[in-house]
Amino acid sequence: DAGITQSPRYKITETGRQVTLMCHQTWSHSYMFWYRQDLGHGLRLIYYSAAADITDKGEVPDGYVVSRSKTENFPLTLESATRSQTSVYFCASSEAATYEQYFGPGTRLTVT
């Protein structure tokens, strides 16, 4: 089905472990985004990408790494997870001309 998907939907990991959250979109949108949602903070931008091999930092990039080798995929890696990275992570995509971002269902990550 067309759309934007995230995997896994739920993840529990331990402090210090590396974890990768996956995001895949089927629209061939040029832009992709990663946000984290925390109570009282709304959504905050972690990283975004304007095209394959082009990425840039958002508001809260520390502790995260992204890559975009293909237009449709935008994985987010926590290199050494910390408890402060416990959150709900949303991926989104948009086409430049519309400025409308389409969101995935989210990944709930718990770091113990």
Which residues bind to other proteins, rule: CB under 8 A?
A: 31, 33, 35, 40-45, 48, 50, 58-59, 90, 92, 94, 96, 99-106
Rounded to a whole number of angstroms, the minimum distance from the CB of residue 31 to other proteins is 5
Instruction: Specify the residue, 47 or 111, whose C-beta has the smaller distance to other proteins.
Output: 47
Q: Among positive and negative, which fits the CA dihedral 8, 11, 15, 90?
A: positive
Instruction: Specify the residue, 19 or 91, whose C-beta has the smaller distance to other proteins.
Output: 91
Rounded to a whole number of angstroms, the minimum distance from the CB of residue 15 to other proteins is 26
Locate all alpha helices (DSSP H) within 1-112, ordered by sequence.
none
Cα–Cα dist 24/43, whole Å: 20
* C-alpha distance from residue 55 to each of 39, 74, 82, 112 (Å): 27, 10, 23, 29
Rounded to a whole number of angstroms, the minimum distance from the CB of residue 98 to other proteins is 8
